[in-house]
Amino acid sequence: MPLTVSFGFNPTSPVAGGPVTFAANATGGTVPYTFRWSFGDGSAAVSGNPVQHTYTSKGTFTVKVNATDGNGVTASASKSITVVAQTLHADFSFSPTAPTKGSTVTFTAMVTGGTSPYSYSWSFGDGTTGSGNPAMHSYANAGNYTVMLTVTDMNSATASATHIVTVSNVVTTLTADFGPTTTLVGNTTFVAVISGGVSPYSCVWNFGDGSAPQTGCTPVHQYIASGNFTVTLMVTDSSSATATATHTVNVQPAPFINGTNFKHNPTFPTPNTITVHVNNPSSLTITATVTVDVFDGDGTVAQEFTQTITVAGHSGGKAVFTFVPTANTTYEIVASVTYSAVLPVGAGTTMTTTVTGNGGTETGTFRYR
């Protein structure tokens, strides 16, 4: 039989930029067969079967395959292939992303697919229009504006994209401050006081005690020792403007248990009065929560007491509990205190914040007789 060749391709409706697979079928002649392809777009011929080829632009191309059998006899086949352009897509960005009234906004289109050249039509959402890429526009008033871009390619295909542009009034200078500047050993919630600039803001703190910097505009920081510490806050707004505040923060000693009184050898079943003294060496008024756990000889909690007291600065307070025994035995007590204080943030505000901490424990034993 004489040598003949035919071929097909997939997909049958190829898109520019996408691969097309060509597969030939030879009959007759003498095996083996070799195949040589020409894709009609000026690219170099290739050998093999099947083969893949990607067209970079749309159009109609004549594809030809030459088949050669084992005796050097050749046969050929050709077909037209129509490649369509990729679907036209459009989007755009704008800068600055947080424009102010009267400032210039630059709109930049991003287009894929379709067939160049493209034309660009802009609707800026305030009743005005523009063309070209990039396009520039300024807004006379603050507000939210829906901006629409329409792109048209050389075949009159169109694609659109919309974004909302939020225009604010002229921004005042970014300023930063913080508080409190007086606190206690323990966990203090610091508060950044920010004005001006463009929100949202980011905050970075250096608390001056050798700890790693902290982020967030209301961080909780633990001071483990009293003293004066140089604290620095740096605020960055969404337009990358920065402001810094530095204060010396006075960290005062924490409240602590200053003795626990009780009868060491009470007569059973007489109640035993337990008095826990709390000393507040700081200048701040604190709220102290005193807890007393009483354990029996087996280590079981016989009773737990809790009392909250207020202790003024540079003074002491006490919590008094009455323990009623259930057995004539030895009891162990563990007294502990936690504390909190409300602190003014200052920095020109009426805001307050808090410090909390643990004032330690004290233990003792007593035996009924």
Residue 339 or residue 154, greater confidence: 339
Q: Cα-atom radius of gyration of the chain, to the nearest Å?
A: 41
- Of 152-156, 208-212, 230-234, 302-306, the range with the lowest mean pLDDT is 152-156
Quick: pLDDT tens for 83-140: 998 889 999 999 999 898 889 999 999 999 888 899 999 999 999 999 999 999 999 9
In the CATH scheme, what is the homologous superfamily, with its name and number, of domain 4-83? Immunoglobulins (2.60.40.10)
Q: Could you name the CATH architecture of 175-252?
A: Sandwich (2.60)
Which are the contacts of 82, defined by CB distance < 8 A and separation ≥ 6? 13, 59, 60
CA distances from 275 to 30, 102, 262, 317 (A): 112, 70, 7, 10
Task: State what percent of residues in the chain have pLDDT above 90.
Answer: 91
More confident residue, 18 or 335: 335
Q: Is the domain 256-367 a CATH 3.40.50.620 member?
A: no
pLDDT of residue 57: 85
Determine the pLDDT at residue 222.
98
| CATH class entry, domain 89-167 | mainly beta
pLDDT digits (tens, 9 = 90+) for 339-369: 999 999 999 999 999 999 999 999 999 999 9
**Verdict on whether the full-model pTM lies above 0.75:** no
Question: Given a cut of 80, is residue 36 above it in pLDDT?
Answer: yes
Mean pLDDT for the chain overall: 96
Q: pLDDT by residue (tens digit) across 176-208?
A: 999 999 999 999 999 999 999 888 999 999 999
Contact (Cβ atoms closer than 8 angstroms) between residue 252 and residue 282: yes
- Which residues in the chain are classed under CATH 2.60.40.10? 4-83, 89-167, 175-252, 256-367
